[in-house]
Structure 1
Amino acid sequence: MRILMLGTGPFAVPSLRALHASKHEVLLAVSRPPRGRKPLPAPVQLAAESLGIPDWQPETVNSDESRQKFVELQPDLLVVCDYGEILKSETLAVARLGGINLHGSLLPEYRGAAPVQWAVLNGDSETGNTVIRMTPGLDAGPAVGVDRVAIDPDETAGELEFRLAERGADLVMKVVEQLATGTEIVVEQDKSQATKAPRLTKEHGQIDWTRSALEIKNQVRALQPWPRAFTDWQRSSGGPLRLIVHRVALCGDSASNTAPGVVVATGGELVIASGKGNLSLLEIQPTGKRAMRVEEFLRGNSVQVGDRFS
């Protein structure tokens, strides 16, 4: 089949590589244009260039100019993953078979930009990938492929997303082959079960020590590698010091008279009471410095039992 690949972020790269290695022809790789003060090429753009696939970064794929370019290429199918723009029905219609989209959740759960992060944040034990037939709605089309994946209780969102991206490429290829032979199985989503997964912000990273140790651990895992969880050590002198928290471990129950956010053990470890249970900080990053194991941090910083984190 003649395929147009639409993707921007790293989640889409394994699918692009799998399509390129297959018997199908990738006519063009389309990604969102670079943004920001120091714009960098998108991961999909870099991958396409390394594979020798033509690439393009239009402001929008829903313009008349974009649709005309696609029509001239005569694609059979649009394959979309981690692209960043909802395609209108007129855009989907440029391909003979329309479009499919790889999404990193078991739809209709976690529709939106951050499905992997929200699954980890909520402490889910299972997630997966869904390939849908695309409609103009947000992740709302019928499913044509599903792959269920267990979540390790210590796995970060970044680690899980990498696994899902690799497995997702296999699922995309399976669905593409079914579409080529007309053997796909279509299952409508139950809209009543839909949940949302909006993009996380830096504000999601602030640790609230009145929450349980397990909830905070899930927060730390979910916000890796971005935007990352953080807390402030209320030092007796020098003002508060912000610490980015990279890795933690559950550490027993807190004493009944220990307030959340108070240090209950220090020395070779740093254990803090939460609303339910204690949490041991394992790897942290002081503001303006590199990440380090907590033992290294404690050698240069005098954290005492009874100090407060907020």
Structure 2
Amino acid sequence: MRVLFLGTGAFGEPALRAIAKSRHKLVGLVTQPDRGGTGKHTSVPPMKAAAEKFNLPVFQPPRVNVADSLERLREFKADAYVVAAYGQILSEKLLAIPPKGAFNLHASLLPKFRGAAPIHAAIRGGEEETGVTIFQIVRELDAGPVLGAEATAIGRFETAGELHDRLARLAAPLTLEVLDALERGTAVPVRQDHDLATYAPQMEKAEGQIDWTRSAGAVSRHVRGMSPWPGAFSIFEPGGLQTKGGKPARCVFESVDTVPGDGSRPGEASDRGGDLVVACGSGAVRVRSIKPAGKRSMSGAEFLRGRGAGRFVS
């Protein structure tokens, strides 16, 4: 079967490689245009580099739904489209081109967490399980019938970045199973229960700010869910009996674990046996790794030695 891949972010890389090495014919990649950066630097979509390793034709239309782009897509003569983190909404005219349909790889167990940020939402929400789903694309957001899904437990200390990479790897064999079934004519689309749908919209950078009035468990999940982007952050204000002075600093919390509280106010940062511990609404978190603005990542103990006690403000 002839397959055209539409993807920009790295989530689709394992699936693209799997299709390229399978008995199916991967006829090309459609991805977002290269982006200009500072100076002479150009940002190339991760999927483009992956496709070039297999000498695949790469098509990078600024607008994929215009007439010229649709005509170029028809020239690929693909039987099916596989879509993963592409970055443009696909029109009904586009979806009608492949005779067997267009299918999206989504990083949740639909209908839970439809939308752009399902991995972050699963971790922040305290979910014990998530997975990857392949569904046929329809007009409504992530609402098409499901052709395959693979569930997996979320690790206790797993970050959004780590879970992203693991789900991407899970999606590869599942994609081949669905393509095989489509080719045989044995694929069975299953309607989603729309009454159970929840949503995980695109995140803004400001959502990384930590609310210290929440429980230690919620703060810990927030830190994991915001790693590596947009980063869980708070402003450190020096103060307290053991302060070493200095100016307020924006700090990104990279790794924490929960510990019992000691009655301190939420956000209060103290030295507990050489560890940096920050009080929460209930309980506290011990800081394992933190990155002050303009500085390298460091342990909580290193942070204490450099800045002393103080307070993190929401």
- Give 1:47 shift: 0.5
Q: Distance in 2 between matches of 1:231 and 1:214?
A: 17
**Equivalent-residue separation in structure 2 for 1:111 and 1:35 (angstroms):** 27
1:238 matched residue in structure 2:
246
1:261 correspondence with 2:267: yes
Distance 1:151 1:264 in 2: 31
CA distance in 2, matches of 1:301, 1:254: 21
Higher mean C-alpha displacement, 289-298 vs 243-252: 289-298
Aligned runs of 1:126-275 on 2, under 5 Å? Answer: 126-236=129-239, 237-255=245-263, 258-275=264-281
User: TM-score scaled to structure 1, two decimals?
Assistant: 0.95
Match of residue 285, structure 1, among 291, 295, 306: 291
Q: Matched residue of 1:249: which SS?
A: strand
Q: Which runs of 5+ in 2 are unaligned?
A: 240-244
Give the length in aligned residue pairs.
Answer: 305
Contact 1:110 1:196 in 2 (8 A): yes
Q: Which moved more, 1:207-216 or 1:35-44?
A: 35-44
> Is residue 212–residue 279 contact of structure 2 (8 Å, CA) maintained in 1?
yes
Q: Secondary structure at the match of 1:183?
A: coil
Over residues 85-140 of structure 1, what are the superposed CA-to-partner deviations in whole Å (9 max), with x where a residue is unaligned? 12111101111111111100011111111111111111111000110011122111
Q: Does 1:8 align with 2:8?
A: yes
Aligned equivalent of 2:103, options 95, 100, 114: 100
Decide whether the 8 Å contact of 1:271 with 1:280 is kept in 2.
yes
Partner residue in 2 for 1:111: 114
Task: Verify the 8 A CA contact 1:103 1:131 in the aligned structure 2.
Answer: yes
Separation of aligned partners in 1, 2:204 and 2:296: 22
Residue 51 of structure 1 aligns to a residue whose secondary structure is coil
How far apart are the structure 2 equivalents of 1:166 and 1:95? 25
Calculate percent identity across the aligned residue pairs: 43
**Which stretch of the first structure deviates more once superposed, 288-297 or 207-216?**
288-297
**How many angstroms apart in 1 are the aligned matches of 2:295 and 2:167?**
31
Q: Secondary structure at the match of 2:287?
A: strand
1:50 counterpart residue number: 53
The offset of 1:150, in angstroms, is 0.4
CA contact (8 A) 1:265 1:272 kept: no
Amino acid at match of 1:251: V
- The amino acid across from 1:299 in the alignment is R
66-75 vs 177-186, which moves further: 66-75
Distance 2:6 2:199 in 1: 22
Q: How far apart, in 2, do the equivalents of 1:249 and 1:113 lie?
A: 27
Whole-angstrom distance in 2 between the partners of 1:298 and 1:92: 56
RMSD over aligned Cα atoms = 1.3
Matched residue SS, 1:129? strand
- Between stretches 211-220 and 27-36, larger displacement belongs to 27-36
Aligned to 1:292, the other structure's residue is in SS state coil
CA distance in 1: counterparts of 2:146 and 2:29, whole angstroms:
23
Q: Which residue of 1 is the match for residue 301 of structure 2? A: 295
- Change in 2 beyond 3 A, CA 1:36/1:205: farther
Kept after mapping to 1: 8 A contact 2:238/2:308: no
CA separation in 1, counterparts of 2:34 and 2:143?
Answer: 27
Q: Residue in 1 aligned with 2:242?
A: none
**Distance change in 2, residues 1:153/1:273 (3 Å):** same
In the TM superposition, residue 264 of structure 1 has moved relative to its aligned partner by 4.4
Q: Is 1:66 paired with 2:69?
A: yes
Confirm or deny: 8 A CA contact 2:276 2:303 kept in the other structure. Answer: no
- Give the superposition deviation at 1:301: 2.3
Unaligned runs of 5+ in 1: none
Please state how far the C-alpha of 1:36 moved relative to its aligned partner: 5.4
CA distance in 1, matches of 2:87, 2:256: 32
